[in-house]
Structure 1
Amino acid sequence: MKRKLLALGAALLAAVASILVVHLPPASAAGGLHVSGTKIVEANGQEFVMRGVNHPHVWFTGRTSSFADIKALGANTVRVVLGSGKRWGPSDDVAEVISLCKQNRLICVLEVHDTTGYGEEGAAASLDEAVTYWIGHKSALVGQENYVVINIGNEPIGNVDAGQWIDATANAVKRMRGNGFEHLLMVDAPNWGQDWQFTMRDNAQTILDADSLRNTVLSIHMYSVFNTPAAITDYLDRFQANGWPLVIGEFGWRFNTGEADDETIVAEARSRGLGYLAWSWSGNTDPILDMTVNFDPNQLTTWGKRIFDGPNGIKATAKEATIYGGGTGSPSPTVSPTPPTGGCSATYRVTGQWGGGFQGDVRVTAGSSAIRGWTVTWTFANGQTVTNAWNATVSSSGSDVTARNMGYNGSLGAGASTTFGFLGSWNGSNGVPTPSCTAS
């Protein structure tokens, strides 16, 4: 179902002139999900980072249990494939899809797939036709701004005349706003989503300026074009430097050396606070991209295990939207601050808890002087154990836990902070320990 491009040489990826740093004006006082600077936030101002997968609903409309299965594996978002009727569908069950997302406490990214490869794929729909579809389903969408992101059209331009993407996308955004949509809008890159000619990267400001509500996020799809750390970090660096909001709306995995470097993708997304939505749950004509065997959540493929269970994967990094009670419901994040000790302090939080397991994070803050390294220790009082950790080297001796900085996050300026996280097990109770921090 995905059109994959051949890997490009490093020279092509590097042969682009520098672009000016341009900053967005402040986000409008939008209701629901909206852009604030480079971040997506909820109506209450709480940052929301997408962690989820793509689900090919239009081709498998009977697989409604997939929404619950995706949620059960830890996702906070699902990107749902819909059809306008030009190639697939029409998907006239928008209200039902939104209801399934809400029942399962998932943020719903809805996309029209018919636009894939327009200009190169003869049967593809235009972005203008995709907007007509959204207008036809406006009654199901209005009022759902807290729960729904509208991804106007999937991979809307192929490799033929990628420059047409600029006007087509700007006009689609304007038409959506002109017809009263106030949702967070998501727009995909050309070149089958991979932007290897850098049309989106070099013209992003034009698209963002076309939105009267300043409520559009750009989306890059990372497959074989993004098969090296250098290709990935260079692309993401440009958006970060310009202050442009971005999500990784699709990506695959490194099943051979020419394919997407998924480990770098998720690590960079985590360190930068970028959302990601992996392709895809099941049902691909090329099953190497399936995360489950025949939609069965108990049969995760290699790709499924990487994206759900990896150190920067969904289970380790997803946080439920606060509109569903994430961060405020049971279990409430619990905080145990300590005064500065040896030049730093540590704050321990339980960010999620389930039967037999929990997720926590620890924030390390330098005191009044810069530090070059840190060590955090605590003692579990209720028999808990740490089973996995990221952004720190964690070891245990009985109930005593020691966490030391990595090479990249040990040096902190005065008052600066960094965080590390972990997964743990518990039985009976999960009391909050008091951590101590020592600087070096």
Structure 2
Amino acid sequence: MRRRLAAIGAVLLAVASTVLMFVRPADAAVGLHVSGRNIVEANGQTFVMRGINQPHVWFTNQTSSFANIKALGANTVRVVLGSGKRWGPSTDVAEVISLCKQNRLICVLEVHDTTGYGEEGAAASLDEAVNYWVSQKSALVGQENYVVINIGNEPIGNTNAGQWTAATTSAIARMRSNGFQHLLMVDAPNWGQDWQYVMRDNAQTILDADNQRNTVLSIHMYAVFNTAASITDYLNRFQSNGWPLVIGEFGWRFNSGEVDHETILAEANARGLGYLGWSWSGNTDPILDMATSFDPNQLTTWGQRIFNGTNGIRATAREASIYRGGTPGPTTPPVTPTTRPPVTPTATPTGGSRACTATYAVVGQWAGGFQADVRVTAGGSAVNGWTVTWTFANGQRVSQVWNATVTSSGSSVTARNVSYNGSLAAGASTTFGFLGSWNGTNSAPTLSCTAT
């Protein structure tokens, strides 16, 4: 009888343990966690990532980057680490977390060695990435309010992308069995771009593999996502299924075949999705650098766009409430947007119906400075290039520009298309933006648009 009772007790204990392991009460959330489609903080406040990637493992001396990224309005930084298989090993995890916290940033930590596994011979497996996280556990435990663990960057290439599902579920299970309670982030296969839709089609399997139900999926958007249709279709699939998603990396449309960053920014803002642009500086191909030579005073076209443009970081980022004593509610962004009605456009036809129109709107204004957006729209026929001119009436000056080439002569300004946004179908539009200075009055000018 005693043995039977002991056996029954063991069974009951096993059942109870299973229940405790697989059912996580909502009020037992530790730090950042998933609630439905959203990432929320321990107090239930929704947190939307607005930040960029910082290539720390290759530039460990660039620690001032954390403060510079924060000063430009970001609320999150995704930090590149190495496991030692290809880069690193990064043994300064505690210092990195401290830098994030000092600068009031949420820290997404990722192992980069896994990039392209199965196609890239030197890449680490997700299992090896988990080994690294276990080796760094002492620096991570207790930081669940501040840290998201991105298990491995772009963990499977284009060779046998289907292996991603089993590798990812195993990695999640190992992280949990080793006691990690952090919000986990998992990247898609196909070098992060999921063009074979392995992550999309197995998303629920991945989410169910986490016994804490605390995993967010991450898509990387580059040339695969070079149309608005491809972006919105992908995001729609996740939204309609209620799956949590962030855009963990993306670039900008520096030529016509690249990612449609305008759609990404607009859709992410409309859907409440987090995004993390690639990357601050130090790229082998510097066209993806946001800051030249890590200098925040030398923002590139891409840097200006993501930090200062419409739907960009300054306009939409809200600091995590953990840095405000856990008090829910938004904080004032670094630049307070000021919405003004656009000027009625003035169209100047050149060649019959080959006309275009342009509208001007101030989207942010602060003492001595402002940000404006200009929308150029083709008329009844397609255009191959456009020029917008205006004259400032109150001494305003243009200081920095994105998505156009601008020249000034006194108060007269001329903006011309760049290589990737000059060709517009009939009725189609594109936008460019700029930062400027003002003093006293900042009235909107009347625009003239000509097309070729």
Q: Distance in 1 between matches of 2:259 and 2:158?
A: 19
- Provide, for residues 280-302 of structure 1, a one-character-per-residue CA deviation record: whole Å limited to 9, x for no partner: 00000010000010000000000
Cα-to-partner distance string for 1:26-65 (whole Å, 9 max, x where unaligned): 8673110000000000000000000000000000000000
SS in 2 for 1:163: helix
Q: What's the counterpart of residue 304 of structure 1?
A: 303
Question: 1:358, 1:426 within 8 Å by CA — same for their partners in 2?
Answer: no
The answer for the alignment partner of 2:124 in structure 1 is 125
Residues 200-239 of structure 1: pairs in structure 2 closer than 5 A: 200-239=199-238
User: Aligned-pair distance for 1:385?
Assistant: 11
Asked if the contact 1:282–1:293 (Cα under 8 Å) also holds between the matched residues in 2, the reply is: yes
| Distance of aligned partners of 1:28 and 1:225 in 2 relative to their CA distance in 1, 3 Å threshold | farther
What are the superposed Cα offsets for residues 193-214 of structure 1, whole Å, 9 maximum, x if unpaired?
0000000000000000000000
Rounded Cα–Cα distance in structure 2 between residues aligned with 1:353 and 1:252: 23
- Inter-partner Cα distance in structure 2 for 1:326 and 1:317: 21
The equivalent position to 1:358 in structure 2, one of 321, 329, 336, is: 336
Residues 253 and 260, structure 1, Cα contact 8 Å, conserved in 2: yes
| Contact 1:26-1:36 within 8 A present in 2 as well | no
Counting only pairs closer than 5 Å after superposition, residues 127-166 of structure 1 correspond to structure 2 as 127-166=126-165
**Structure 1 residue 358: Cα displacement:** 3.0
Alignment check: 8 A CA contact 1:28 1:214 kept:
no
Asked whether the equivalents of residues 26 and 37 of structure 1 are also in contact (C-alpha less than 8 Å), the reply is: no
Alignment of 1:157-196 (within 5 A): 157-196=156-195
Matched residues in 2 for 1:387 and 1:25: separation? 48
Alignment-derived partner of residue 98 in structure 2 = 99
Partner AA of 1:226 in structure 2: F
Distance, in Å, in 1 between the alignment partners of 2:71 and 2:163 is 41
Change (3 A) 1:295 1:389: closer
The one-letter amino acid paired with 1:249 is G
Contact 1:267-1:312 within 8 A present in 2 as well: yes
Aligned length: 331
Q: Counterparts of 1:53 and 1:67 in 2: how far apart (Å)?
A: 10
Give me the whole-angstrom Cα distance separating, in 2, the residues matched to 1:228 and 1:26. Answer: 41
Indicate whether 1:39 and 2:44 are aligned. no
Letter in 2 for 1:55: Q
CA distance in 2, matches of 1:199, 1:158: 12
Distance 1:49 1:96 in 2: 24
2:303 is matched by which residue type in structure 1? Answer: G
The change in CA–CA distance for 1:359 and 1:32 in structure 2 (over 3 A counts) is farther
Per the alignment, in what secondary structure is the counterpart of residue 296 of structure 2? Answer: strand
Aligned residue identity for 1:145: E
User: Residue by residue, what CA displacement relative to the aligned partner does 1:95-128 show, whole Å, maximum 9, x if unpaired?
Assistant: 0000000000000000000000000000000000
CA distance in 2, matches of 1:206, 1:94: 30
Answer whether contact 2:207 2:215 (CA < 8 A) is retained: yes
**Residue identity matched to 2:228:** P
| Structure 1 pair 105–359 and aligned structure 2 pair: CA distance change class (3 A) | farther
> Which letter maps to 2:280?
W
CA separation of 1:28/1:286 partners in 2, compared to 1, >3 Å: closer, same or farther? farther
Please tell me the residue identity of whatever aligns with 1:134.
Answer: W
What TM-score comes out, normalization by structure 1 length?
0.71
Alpha-carbon separation, structure 1, partners of 2:26 and 2:232: 26
Q: Residue 282 of structure 1 corresponds to which residue in structure 2?
A: 281
Amino acid at match of 1:299: Q
Q: What are the Cα deviations for residues 115-146 of structure 1, in whole angstroms up to 9, with x where unaligned? A: 00000000000000000000000000000000
Question: Is residue 110 of structure 2 the alignment partner of residue 111 of structure 1?
Answer: yes
Assess if the C-alpha contact under 8 Å between 1:352 and 1:359 holds in 2: no
**Do 1:311 and 1:389's aligned partners in 2 also have CA atoms closer than 8 Å?**
no
**1:48 pairs with 2:47:** yes
State how far apart, in whole Å, the 1-side matches of 2:93 and 2:338 are.
36
Describe the SS at the equivalent of 2:88.
coil
Question: Between the two proteins, what is the percent identity of the paired residues?
Answer: 79
**Separation in structure 2 between the aligned mates of residue 353 and residue 184 of structure 1, nearest angstrom:** 25
Aligned mates of 1:195, 1:353 — CA distance in 2 = 33
Alignment of 1:77-92 (within 5 A): 77-92=76-91
* Matching residue's letter, 1:167: A
Distance 1:241 1:81 in 2: 31
Instruction: Give the number of the structure whose alpha-carbon radius of gyration is greater.
Output: 2
Shift in alpha-carbon separation, 1:285–1:272, aligned structure 2, 3 A: same
Distance 2:49 2:295 in 1: 23
For residues 174-227 of structure 1, the C-alpha deviation after alignment (integer angstroms, 9 at most, x for no partner) is 000000000000000000000000000000000000000000000000000000
CA shift in 2, pair 1:66/1:290, >3 Å: same
Deviation at 1:232, TM superposition (A): 0.1
1:48-87 → structure 2 map (5 Å cutoff): 48-87=47-86
SS at match of 1:297: coil
Distance verdict in 2 for CA 1:100–1:257, change over 3 Å: same
Determine whether 1:243 maps to 2:242.
yes
Look up the SS of the partner of 1:298 in the other structure.
coil
Structure 1 counterpart of 2:269: 270
Are 2:316 and 2:333, in contact at CA under 8 Å, matched by a contact in 1?
Answer: no
Distance 1:248 1:313 in 2: 14
- Mark the runs of 5 or more structure 1 residues left unpaired by the alignment: 1-23, 334-350, 362-382, 391-422, 428-440
Secondary structure in 2 aligned to 1:115? coil
Tell me the amino acid that sits aligned with residue 295 of structure 2. D
Distance 1:25 1:220, change over 3 A: farther
CA distance in 1, matches of 2:305, 2:369: 20
Q: Aligned partners of 1:190, 1:131: CA distance in 2, in Å?
A: 17
CA distance in 2, matches of 1:297, 1:325: 26
Contact 1:27/1:35, CA 8 A, preserved across alignment: no
Give the Cα–Cα distance (whole angstroms) in 1 for the partners of residues 438 and 244 of structure 2: 38
Matched residue type, 2:55: P
- Secondary structure, in 3 states, of the residue corresponding to 2:113? helix
